[in-house]
Amino acid sequence: MKTAILTFIFILSIAVSSAQLLHPVTKPEKQWESDPGLKIPESVLYDTATDIIYVSNIDGSPAAKDSTGFIATLSTDGKILKADWVTGIDAPKGMGILKNHLFVSNIDEIIEIDIPTATIVKRYPVEGSKFLNDVATDPITGMIFITDSGLGQVFVLFDGKVNLWLQGDMFKGANGLCLRDSLLYIGTGNNVLQADIKTGEVLVYLPNTGGVDGIYMTSDDKLIFSDWRGSVFISEMKRKPVLLMSTTAQKINAADFGVIVSKNMILIPTFADNKVVSYTLDVIK
């Protein structure tokens, strides 16, 4: 009996420590909603160099080659600066900045945009791809990583060439990307993976998450991710995620969000609700 009691206390202590994995988080405080004019906003990216927010707008089917998609620009208070900043894209999704150029996934290609001139300067076909999604750039190596959610793969664009980098069952539903130093965090259909871009070693960083869309690693190693349906979570390695906020009940999505670290701000594209909504969160750092 004594052994059974001690075992129970041990299991209970583990459960309690898991439940208390994070310091208390201040409730998100809504700051603004973007002006009307966005059309199925899928991804948001803040540019620290220009103090401008870029928003990819699908404006149609996420897989249709219809040239109706576009990139819009917002101010940091949610005003639309230019809805048609760059047009003629099919279904733009993830974005990344490298050397004053914006790289955007577009179904089966990567589009390179010169930011000062708002001009598409190059298109990189991704042979064998099906549904390219998120983008992450590495300013140190110049590597650009792209997920393919349709095939469960990760591609890399480097020195003008695109190559398949990672594939296999564990990458099924590969979507959100976030690069921190030499570690690439990959949100999949049910896990968050951690891949070392130097060695190619991959491990499961956070299991059983459900589908992961937006993803961000804070400076103090807290992982924040969204599930597209409307929920945003925070966690640490191997720990159970804690819900930060949710608009699922209102049927408002939470797609590939962006952050403004200096303002402790998260920028959530609501997809079918056609807005970007800003909240302050003390964990954004």
Q: Is residue 15 situated within a structural domain? A: no
Distance CA 117, CA 65 (A): 24
Q: Is residue 173 situated within a structural domain? A: yes
**In the numeric block, which tokens belong to residue 180?**
């921190």
**In the numeric block, which tokens belong to residue 162?**
């695109």
Distance CA 83, CA 148 (A): 27
Q: Is residue 21 situated within a structural domain? A: no
Does residue 13 carry a pLDDT above 70? Answer: no
CA nearest neighbour of 70 among 33, 35, 32, 102: 102
Q: Is residue 3 situated within a structural domain? A: no
Q: Is residue 72 situated within a structural domain? A: yes
Does residue 9 carry a pLDDT above 90? Answer: no
CA nearest neighbour of 153 among 136, 138, 168: 168
Distance CA 98, CA 137 (A): 6
Based on the structure, what is the number of domains in the chain?
A: 1
Q: What is the DSSP letter of 254?
A: B
Of the chain, the percentage scoring pLDDT greater than 70 comes to 92
CA nearest neighbour of 283 among 233, 229, 222, 238: 222
Does residue 5 carry a pLDDT above 50? Answer: no
**Nearest-5° angle of CA 207, CA 213, CA 218?**
75
Distance CA 280, CA 144 (A): 29
Distance CA 105, CA 154 (A): 12
pLDDT tens, residue by residue, 183-225:
999 999 999 999 999 999 999 999 999 999 999 999 999 999 9
Does residue 15 carry a pLDDT above 60? Answer: no
pLDDT tens, residue by residue, 99-156:
999 999 999 999 999 999 999 999 999 999 999 999 999 999 999 999 999 999 999 9
Contact 226, 257 (CB under 8 A): yes
**In the numeric block, which tokens belong to residue 149?**
């959610």
Least confident of 17-26, 78-87, 102-111, 152-161: 17-26
Contact 273, 252 (CB under 8 A): yes
Q: Is 17 helix (H, G, I), strand (E, B) or coil?
A: helix
Which structural domain range is residue 102 located in? 28-280
**Residue range 31-45: average pLDDT?**
98
Match 């609501």 to its residue by tokens: 270
**What pLDDT does residue 25 have?**
76
Q: Is residue 11 situated within a structural domain? A: no
CATH of the domain at 37: 2.120.10.30
Q: Is residue 107 situated within a structural domain? A: yes
Q: What is the DSSP letter of 115?
A: T
Q: Is residue 159 situated within a structural domain? A: yes
